[in-house]
Every structure is written in C-alpha cells, then in structure tokens.
C-alpha cells in the first residue's frame, strides 16, 4: 500500500472533493462575495480536505502495512492476527473480525483431523500389540509341530518350515507399519543413548537369522567392536533390519550372496555400511530410492516391493539426525551408508557431573 495506490483507490472521493471546491468557488463568484473571503474559504476547504485524506491514509496504512509484512515474515501465516491489534476504523474492524472467524474455523477443522489422526495411530499401535499375540502363538505352534514331526522324520516338516517363514514375513510387515506410524508422528518418541553397535547388530542378526540362512546369505560382520553410537537402539535396529532384508530381497539368483556390515570412524563421524553383492540399483533410480512409494525397475521386476521400506528408513534417519545415502553398481553391488555424528552433549554432561 503506497500513496499512489491509495489515491487510485480513492479517486471518486478525491473527485467529489475537487467538485465540491469548484462548486463553492462558482457559488461564491455568482453571489459576488468579496474575493479575499472567497480565497480564505477555498483555502480552508482545501486544507481540511487534504488533512482528512492524509489522516485517513495514515490510519489505514498503519494497519494494512503491518498486516502485510507480518504475514510475509511469519513462518505460520495463519498466526498473523495474534500479532495485531483490532483496528479503529470500520473496514479494518470488519476485515479483522472476518479473518478471526475464518482462522477459528480453520483451526477447528485442522484439530478435528489431528485428533482423528492421533486416534488412528493409537489404534494402530494397539492393533500391532494385539496381532503379535496370535502370531506368537502360531510361531510357537509351528515350532512344536516341527519338533514333534522331526522325531518321526515326517515329510510335513518342509510345509511347516514354509509356514514359519511366511509367519516371519507377516511379522516384518507388522513391524514396518509400527515404524511407519512412529516415523510420521510429530511427537518425539525416540530416545537417544550411547549404544554399542555390536549389540544392535547382534539383535538384528538374531531376529533375522532364519531368513538370512534360508536365503543362503553369508552374513559378514566386520570392525564393529567398541563402536559406540549416539542413537535410538530400537530405531537403529529396525533401520539395519530393513537394509538387510532389502539386500536379501534383491540378491542375485545365482552364485554366493553375502551381506557385509562394517563400521568406520573418522573424527566425529561414524559410518555404518550395509553392503551386498546383489543385483544393484540402476543409476536412474538411485536418487529416488528413498522416496515414498517409489518402486524402481528392481521393485517392478521383483513384484513384491511396496516402496515404503527405504522411505521409512530415511524418515527415521532424518529424525535421529543421521545421514543416509546409497552407492551402487548396477548388476554388481549396493552399499547403504549411515553417518552417525558423535554427540558432544554426552561428553559435556559427563564432565559437568564430575
């Protein structure tokens, strides 16, 4: 809002004012009023009109200008009314009240969705805990069946083992949903502590042992002793588990497959790599593998990709403040690397505790 646009907007008023002055001049001339008095009256009228416009301009400009600049400056533009006083002039008051009501109804609307969203998430968490019970029961049952059948050398064992591996697949899908729901959660529900990498790798290895062995994968763990990470143990385990299961999913059909996990510390950064000799990722897909629902050439070829695994991994890494990237040679190998920064905060706390 500048004087020019104000004048443009007020052109009718200004025209009427000028018209009024001209009519007055004409009347005064017709009635032969003394010219000194005429000049005095006209002068007074012009001064009053100009003051009226200037006052009006200043009053409005103060309100609209701060409204405009505040909207631009604010990160959340809808909070702008919190920064403003309700203005004195009528149009300003109207605008203010309208904005207030629009804002209120928008906030209510958003709230109703965020409550629904929260309810849904709570239900998902509950559901996951519920569904784990029958899954546990099935996996125990199958274990017991295999135990009993193996004493009779029965042919059913193969069937039960197949069922077992299907149950494990369900379990891993269920976990994926749990972590998806957590990764989308605005609240902070992770807990960063100093964690031994070897413990994380051990847990992941134990959780995935059967799947790794059924697929004939050679798991090579190297240089992870005495590596301590500032991370959330459960989240990090999930991340490594996802990377391993990706390596298994995209292994080559022939030859010996391996998954190699190793760590490398340089200064403040520890790099944890998960490397395989699988089918690799074509260069055109490499940048996009972390995108939601992205299933590249590999995903389509294997027809079992949801495109969610790596997206969740990336989201969790972002939340934890870790950097993740992928390198690959198509047809040869793939390597995912996570960079974890050493957090000085823990050191500071330990020193101040002394």
Interface residues with other proteins (CB under 8 A) are: 129, 132-137, 139-141, 143-144, 147-148, 150-151, 153, 157, 167, 171, 191, 198, 202, 205-207, 209-210, 213, 216-221, 233-234
Q: Residue 1 or 221: which CB sits closer to other proteins? A: 221
Report the C-alpha gap between 201 and 212 in whole angstroms: 13
Q: Which residues pair with 231 in a beta bridge?
A: 193
Q: Which two tokens stand for residue 159?
A: 């069937």
Tell me the closest approach of the beta carbon of residue 146 to other proteins, in angstroms.
9
Q: Which two tokens stand for residue 295?
A: 């299933």
> In sequence order, which residues have a C-beta less than 8 Å from that of residue 236 and are 6 or more positions away?
195, 200, 229, 320
- 8 A C-beta contact, residue 333 and residue 349: no
Tell me the closest approach of the beta carbon of residue 134 to other proteins, in angstroms.
7
DSSP for 269-324 reads EEEEEEEE-SS---HHHHTTTTSTT---HHHHHHT---S-HHHHHHHHHHHHT-EE
- 8 A C-beta contact, residue 59 and residue 52: no
Tell me the closest approach of the beta carbon of residue 337 to other proteins, in angstroms.
20
Q: What is the strand order of the sheet 323-329 is part of?
A: 217-222, 257-266, 269-276, 333-341, 323-329
Tell me the closest approach of the beta carbon of residue 140 to other proteins, in angstroms.
4
H/E stretch holding 103 reads helix 90-152
Tell me the closest approach of the beta carbon of residue 169 to other proteins, in angstroms.
12
Q: Residue 73 or 129: which CB sits closer to other proteins? A: 129
Q: Residue 159 or 221: which CB sits closer to other proteins? A: 221
Q: Residue 205 or 326: which CB sits closer to other proteins? A: 205
Tell me the closest approach of the beta carbon of residue 214 to other proteins, in angstroms.
10
Size of the chain in residues: 354
Q: Residue 67 or 243: which CB sits closer to other proteins? A: 243
Q: Residue 62 or 135: which CB sits closer to other proteins? A: 135
Report the C-alpha gap between 333 and 280 in whole angstroms: 5
Q: Percentages helix, strand, coil for the chain, rounded to the nearest 5?
A: 65, 15, 20
Q: Residue 67 or 272: which CB sits closer to other proteins? A: 272
Tell me the closest approach of the beta carbon of residue 233 to other proteins, in angstroms.
8
- 8 A C-beta contact, residue 219 and residue 329: no
Tell me the closest approach of the beta carbon of residue 86 to other proteins, in angstroms.
47
Q: Residue 244 or 281: which CB sits closer to other proteins? A: 244
């Amino acid at each position: 809002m500048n004087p020019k646009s104000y004048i443009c907007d007020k052109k009718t008023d200004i025209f009427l004012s000028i018209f009024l002055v001209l009519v007055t001049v004409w009347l005064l001339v017709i009635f032969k009023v003394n010219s000194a008095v005429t000049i005095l009256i006209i002068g007074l009228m012009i001064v009053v009109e100009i003051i009226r416009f200037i006052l009006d301009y200043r009053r409005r400009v103060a309100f609209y200008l701060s409204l405009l600049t505040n909207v631009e400056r604010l990160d959340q533009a809808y909070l702008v009314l919190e920064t403003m006083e309700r203005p004195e002039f009528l149009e300003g008051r109207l605008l203010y009240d309208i904005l207030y009501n629009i804002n209120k109804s928008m906030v209510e609307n958003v709230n109703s969705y965020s409550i629904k969203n929260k309810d849904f998430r709570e239900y998902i968490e509950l559901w996951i805990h519920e569904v784990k019970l029958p899954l546990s029961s099935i996996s125990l049952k199958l274990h017991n069946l295999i135990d009993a059948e193996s004493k009779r050398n029965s042919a059913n064992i193969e069937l039960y083992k197949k069922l077992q591996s299907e149950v494990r697949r369900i379990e891993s899908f269920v976990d994926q949903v749990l972590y998806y729901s957590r990764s989308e959660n605005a609240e902070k529900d992770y807990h960063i502590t100093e964690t031994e990498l070897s413990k994380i790798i051990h847990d992941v290895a134990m959780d995935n042992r059967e799947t790794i062995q059924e697929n004939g994968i050679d798991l090579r763990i190297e240089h992870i002793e005495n590596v301590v990470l500032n991370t959330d143990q459960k989240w990090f385990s999930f991340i490594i588990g996802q990377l391993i299961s990706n390596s298994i999913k995209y292994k080559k059909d022939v030859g010996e497959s391996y998954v190699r996990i190793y760590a490398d510390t340089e200064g403040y950064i520890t790099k944890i790599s998960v490397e395989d000799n699988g089918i690799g990722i074509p260069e055109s897909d490499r940048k996009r593998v972390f995108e939601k629902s992205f299933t590249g050439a590999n995903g389509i070829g294997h027809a079992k990709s949801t495109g969610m695994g790596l997206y969740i991994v990336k989201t969790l890494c972002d939340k934890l403040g870790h950097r993740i990237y992928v390198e690959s040679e198509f047809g040869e190998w793939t390597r995912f690397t996570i960079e974890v920064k050493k957090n000085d905060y823990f050191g500071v706390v330990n020193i101040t505790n002394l």
